[in-house]
């Protein structure tokens, strides 16, 4: 099988055109073969998280981005279920509060970065400040265009201080988004998630694609690469994310710490 980590990684310095990537691609996998493979990868992630937690030398930050209905919540539900929630904080970034707006745009993000031993998940992230703010003209172009370099520097600082960063961009096509939004509206258990604002954002599809292209092109680095995940098929999305994430964490070679020196090798507890 093809190496998904290599196939889906955005090479630093390359130019990305998201809409030229097939969001229905499966790279030779089918659903029947993917399901047991996903189960194995989730088991692997569980073991790796235990080692990361026990060793407490590394932090892992997983960033999920994508257009509305691309599957960020679903990825957290299906892939991150492998992790013990005690060591896996999940942070969702909504519209900034008044307190957050009183600081620089990275302030609220830095506060949420996982500690050593944790695998932290960002559902949206600091990238909203080169995506939403650009599309909606919230800040001048001169401001948001300078943030790519700032973000790269911020992520490099985190990486040099023990945080491994894995960034997943989930891509779907416009027809799939329409189907998902319609299904959300028609399902009584999910209608609460539906907002008329979703339809307003949908009209800005082309603007968002341009913002995605530039953000991915300018911020995929050797220390914090982007992976563009075809997400029209949920099962392939889960396979790709779990495969890449497990391989990245395994590269850290997390190990159980040695037994404390005062613990005898043949202790029998009465």
Whether 31 and 235 have beta carbons less than 8 Å apart is answered as yes
What pLDDT shows up at residue 223? 98
Whether 116 and 87 have beta carbons less than 8 Å apart is answered as no
Predicted TM-score (pTM) of the model is: 0.97
Domain assignment present for 14: yes
List, in order, residues 6 or more apart from 32 with CB less than 8 Å away: none
Domain assignment present for 258: no
Q: How far apart are CA 4 and CA 29, in angstroms?
A: 11
The tally of domains found in the chain comes to 1
Lookup: tokens for 244: 């890449």
Q: What is the sign of the dihedral through the CA atoms of 227, 232, 237 and 239?
A: negative
What pLDDT shows up at residue 158? 98
**What distances in angstroms separate CA 262 from CA 55, 71, 255, one per listed residue?**
19, 49, 20
Domain assignment present for 177: yes
Domain assignment present for 265: no
40: domain range? 4-251
pLDDT in tens, the chain (270 residues): 799 999 999 999 999 999 999 999 999 999 999 999 999 999 999 999 999 999 999 999 999 999 999 999 999 999 999 999 999 999 999 999 999 999 999 999 999 999 999 999 999 999 999 999 999 999 999 999 999 999 999 999 999 999 999 999 999 999 999 999 999 999 999 999 999 999 999 999 999 999 999 999 999 999 999 999 999 999 999 999 999 999 999 999 999 999 989 999 899 999
What pLDDT shows up at residue 1? 73
Question: CATH number, domain at 9?
Answer: 3.40.50.300
Transcribe 121-179 into DSSP letters. EEES-TTHHHHHHHHTT-S-HHHHHTHHHHHHHHHHHHHHTTEEEEEEEEE--HHHHHH
């Amino acid at each position: 099988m093809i190496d998904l980590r290599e196939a889906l990684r955005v090479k630093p310095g390359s130019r990305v055109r998201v809409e030229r990537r097939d969001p229905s691609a499966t790279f030779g996998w089918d659903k029947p073969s993917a399901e047991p493979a996903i189960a194995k990868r989730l088991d692997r992630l569980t073991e790796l998280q235990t080692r990361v937690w026990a060793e407490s030398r590394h932090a892992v930050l997983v960033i999920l981005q994508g257009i509305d209905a691309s599957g960020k919540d679903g990825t957290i539900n299906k892939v991150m279920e492998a992790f013990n929630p005690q060591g896996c904080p999940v942070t969702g970034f909504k519209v900034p509060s008044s307190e957050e707006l009183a600081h620089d745009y990275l302030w609220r993000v830095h506060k949420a970065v996982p500690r050593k031993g944790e695998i932290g998940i960002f559902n949206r992230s600091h990238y909203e400040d080169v995506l939403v703010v650009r599309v909606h003209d919230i800040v001048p172009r001169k401001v948001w265009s300078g943030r790519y370099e700032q973000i790269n520097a911020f992520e490099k600082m985190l990486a040099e201080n023990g945080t491994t960063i894995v960034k997943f961009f989930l891509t779907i096509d416009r027809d799939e988004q329409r189907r998902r939004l319609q299904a959300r509206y028609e399902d009584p258990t999910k209608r609460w998630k539906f907002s008329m604002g979703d339809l307003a954002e949908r009209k800005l599809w082309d603007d968002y694609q341009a913002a995605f292209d530039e953000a991915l092109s300018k911020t995929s680095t050797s220390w914090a690469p982007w992976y563009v995940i075809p997400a029209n098929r949920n099962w392939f999305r889960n396979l790709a994310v779990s495969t890449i994430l497990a391989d990245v964490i395994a590269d850290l070679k997390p190990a159980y710490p040695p037994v404390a020196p005062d613990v005898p090798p043949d202790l029998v507890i009465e």
